[in-house]
Amino acid sequence: MTNSNKKIRKLEDSVIRLIAAGEVVEGPSSVVKELTENSIDSGAKNITIEIKNGGQDYIQVADDGEGMSTDDLLLCTNRHTTSKIFEASDLEEIHTLGFRGEFLASLAAIAKLSILTKHVNSAQAFNLQIGPIINNKFQSLSLRDLQKKQRTQGTTIEVFNLFSDIPARKSFMKSPKSDTSKIIELIHSFRLASPTVKFTLKQDRQILFQTQGVLEKQSESKNIFNGLIQVLGKDTAKNLIEIKISDKKALIEDQPWIVSGWIGKPSESRPTRQHQYFLLNGRLIKSKILSNAIEQGYGTFLARKQFPIAIIFLTGSPKNVDVNVHPAKLEVRFRDENLIFSLITELVKNTLMNQGVSFSPITYKKDELTVKNKTETINIVQKPLLRTNSEVISPKTTTASVSEMKITKDSTEALSEIVEEIYDPMVDIYDESTTKKKGGVLSMNHVIKKSAVKNLQPVAQFRNLYIIAEDPENPYNLYLIDQHAVAERIALEELLRTKGSSDEKIDRNEKSSSKREIRRQKLLVPLTVNLSPQSMDTFREVKSLLLKFGYRGEEFGTNSVLIHSLPLFFGRNRLLRHSKGKESLIQDFRNILDSVSKGLISDHSPLEVEIAKLIACKNSIKAGDYLDHDEMVRLLKKIADADFPFVCCHGRPAIFEINNKEIDKLFWR
Ligand SMILES: Nc1ncnc2c1ncn2[C@@H]1O[C@H](COP(=O)(O)OP(=O)(O)O)[C@@H](O)[C@H]1O
Ligand SMILES: [Mg+2]
């Protein structure tokens, strides 16, 4: 159409509905979401959802809520009709899940609906059939459009052939399988949000699952937890850490939000944010702010591209949040974003710090391993190699598991392959493939308290990788320590405690052991490092951060840097004494810049922390370094002083505690 023909006209109601429908009806799972929210808003205690073909052919949501009067039934599919808000000021304080009054109207535009409802004060149930827009003109409805039916109190809404008359959208529909799994996930989240409601999900008349639904307040959190077991699996749910702000603190500090819930231990992290649930006054929301706040709380405990598990309940006045941001009401805006951000970050950080983290060997989860030789290995990995849970391994079961392991030549090789893949700390931690395999391979059964590692003494070094240690005052535990992982964490803490300084004086005054500044080792002959143009740019960008952490570098020609001094902190001291080759010092520096310029760093923490992590990693005791007794003693002493020695900079476990009972079990004592 050319501009000269331009003419504004008012769109037909049917077209307006179609436009709106495009926004709010995304697919079967969004229909289930909206209908279920309506049921929850109606005060239902039992909600049954039934789907056929992933919801594409048929969706039914039935509840025992208050139902609708005939007046309401005739209105509910009109545009902008709602019983939940009345005037503009109500928008400032929304107490229900719905409020926009547009979902049923939109749904009726794109599918055939049947609404059967019996109001709490009515003796009779009524049925309305409506839609889709192609067949109906949506003239105003009257009582003649309703049929009398039988039903107990509540509402049943059926949706037939979603989008079948809208070919453009129909062709975008996903596979029914993925719709089903989305719906399952959704109902599980509803269960977390509304633990007092009993949800039943049926597919093709068969019950897929049913939740408990409890009425007493006390059982609520238990029911939520049962829900978590369903969503996350027993092993993972068992290893969640509870978080809460005590009500007292909230009162004292006049916090507008009460926060509670669970977070996963760092090593239970996942490659997506799929297992982060935020429930704001019973509303399931997505929130970048909350995700970022949590991840920031984990900080350096998280591996790159790993996201923590979190189930966070926020309770507060609806006045402090605007839910009218997004047609699907998934996103919200907090009145004070900074406050909520720091509240959550601090809470997560403190919870992790106080808890201590436990990595307890060793149950392999077969589904999380990707091994080439699948059939051969699964028999083996299903069996725990060493159990640390409380159940007693009787000699009989042990024998059985040994015989079941079918140790053929191939399978033993396969086993060693897996163990190597998981445990070999010499593998470069920045290697994509190892990061992926790592998450959640170990199950963690008990917590190591920080006090437990205050007095460790070395027993021996094993394979130049691990230190075996004990606590003479508490001879019941054995400790296995990954020397590189702890050294790296200790170095990181040391680096992050430093105050920035670009002051030249430090260079001249090498011996000043000011606690707050990283000491530097000045080089008699500067090292020349050749860099790619990309890394050269990165160098310019992060030069001052490098200086803060002890590397004083200077541009030299187009593509090289002269290094005048190196950081001198725990780990590094030792390396220099053992006169680490010049080549490897250059290589380390180049690796640090390459990792930053290629984006091989995590985005969970600020760049400064990421640089410190790289420097700590490159300059610490490495896997494969022989340590003499004194060096082990020194390292273990550093563990005692560390804030959080249990995981390395990348979220890998650093210390295991094994109880003597667990060892005795191995020997059937
Ligand atoms: N399951 C139900 N039980 C009782 N009333 C319902 C139910 N579903 C919808 N309604 C009524 O229909 C109205 C319109 O629903 P909807 O289009 O989803 O808008 P909203 O939920 O935003 O109000 C609701 O305000 C409510 O009064
Ligand atoms: Mg609604």
CA of 323 to the centre of ligand 1 (A): 17
Share the mean pLDDT of the chain: 78
CA of 180 to the centre of ligand 2 (A): 21
Query: Cβ distance 381 to 327 under 8 Å?
Result: no
pLDDT at 206 over 70: yes
Confidence of residue 3 (pLDDT cuts 50, 70, 90): low
Please provide residue 514's backbone torsions phi and psi, each rounded to the nearest 5 degrees.
Answer: -50, 130
Domains 233-355 and 488-619 share a fold: no
- How far apart, in Å, are the Cα atoms of 559 and each of 8, 529, 537, 566? 61, 9, 10, 20
pLDDT at 241 over 50: yes
Please provide residue 20's backbone torsions phi and psi, each rounded to the nearest 5 degrees.
Answer: -65, -40
- How far apart, in Å, are the Cα atoms of 142 and each of 137, 146, 385, 581, 608? 14, 8, 71, 89, 67
pLDDT at 306 over 50: yes
pLDDT at 203 over 90: yes
CA of 228 to the centre of ligand 2 (A): 26
How, if at all, do strands 276-280 and 310-316 pair? parallel
Report DSSP letters for 105-162, one per residue.
HHHHHHSEEEEEEE-TT-SSEEEEEE--TTT---PPP-GGGEEEE---SEEEEEEEST
Looking at the DSSP assignment, which residues form a beta bridge with residue 562?
528, 554
Quickly tell me which residue has 């790289």 as its tokens: 614
Q: Ligand 1 in contact with 153 (CB < 6 A)?
A: no
Residues in the chain, overall count: 669
CA of 231 to the centre of ligand 2 (A): 25
**Cβ contacts of 153 within 8 Å, gap of 6 or more:** 64, 65, 66, 67, 118, 119, 120
CA of 549 to the centre of ligand 2 (A): 55
**Cβ contacts of 666 within 8 Å, gap of 6 or more:** 386
Protein residue with its CA nearest to atom 27 in ligand 1:
83
User: How many Å apart are CA 435 and CA 652, to the nearest integer?
Assistant: 10
User: How many Å apart are CA 325 and CA 271, to the nearest integer?
Assistant: 28
pLDDT at 125 over 90: yes
Q: Could you tell me if residue 63 is left (phi over 0), alpha (psi between -120 and 50 degrees) or otherwise beta?
A: beta
CA of 76 to the centre of ligand 1 (A): 6
The DSSP letter of residue 449 is P
Q: Ligand 1 in contact with 103 (CB < 6 A)?
A: yes
**Cβ contacts of 261 within 8 Å, gap of 6 or more:** 242, 243, 244, 279, 310, 311, 312, 313
Q: Ligand 1 in contact with 287 (CB < 6 A)?
A: no
Report DSSP letters for 276-301, one per residue.
EEEEETTEEE--HHHHHHHHHHHGGG
Q: Closest ligand to 77 CA? A: 1
User: How many Å apart are CA 162 and CA 171, to the nearest integer?
Assistant: 12
Mean pLDDT calculated for residue range 45-57: 96
How, if at all, do strands 46-52 and 198-203 pair? parallel
pLDDT at 404 over 80: no
The two three-digit tokens of residue 503, written as one number: 């002051």
Protein residue with its CA nearest to atom 19 in ligand 1:
101
Quickly tell me which residue has 């949506």 as its tokens: 138
609 three-state secondary structure? helix
Q: What is the pLDDT of residues 645-660, one digit of tens each?
A: 888 887 778 888 888 8
Q: First and final CA of the chain: distance in angstroms?
A: 88
- For 488-619, give the CATH class: alpha beta
Instruction: Please state the atom number of ligand 1 nearest to the C-alpha of residue 34.
Output: 18
The two three-digit tokens of residue 361, written as one number: 């060997």
Query: Cβ distance 94 to 323 under 8 Å?
Result: yes
Q: Closest ligand to 158 CA? A: 1
Asked if the 233-355 domain carries CATH number 3.50.50.60, the reply is no
**Nearest to 439, CA basis, from 647, 212, 165, 138:** 647
- Report domain extents, the chain: 13-215, 233-355, 488-619
Q: Ligand 1 in contact with 155 (CB < 6 A)?
A: yes
Query: Cβ distance 426 to 343 under 8 Å?
Result: no
In the chain, helix, strand, coil percent, each to 5? 40, 20, 40
How, if at all, do strands 560-568 and 457-462 pair? unpaired
**Cβ contacts of 159 within 8 Å, gap of 6 or more:** 31, 35, 58, 59, 60, 107, 111, 112, 113
User: How many Å apart are CA 71 and CA 113, to the nearest integer?
Assistant: 18
Confidence of residue 225 (pLDDT cuts 50, 70, 90): confident
Q: What is the pLDDT of residues 333-351, one digit of tens each?
A: 998 888 889 889 989 988 8
pLDDT at 64: 98
Quickly tell me which residue has 């409601």 as its tokens: 197
Q: What is the pLDDT of residues 144-165, one digit of tens each?
A: 999 999 999 999 999 999 987 7
Angle value at C-alpha 191, between 186 and 192, nearest 5 degrees: 100
Q: What is the pLDDT of residues 483-521, one digit of tens each?
A: 999 999 999 998 888 865 444 444 444 444 445 677 788
Q: What is the pLDDT of residues 174-195, one digit of tens each?
A: 788 889 999 998 998 898 888 8
Pocket test for ligand 1, best of 17, 34, 35, 41 (most atoms within 8 A of CB): 41
- To the nearest 10 degrees (0 to 180), the angle between helices 176-193 and 220-232 is 160
Superfamily of domain 13-215: Histidine kinase-like ATPase, C-terminal domain (3.30.565.10)
Query: Cβ distance 377 to 415 under 8 Å?
Result: yes
pLDDT > 70: percent of the chain: 77
Query: Cβ distance 329 to 294 under 8 Å?
Result: no
Query: Cβ distance 49 to 36 under 8 Å?
Result: yes
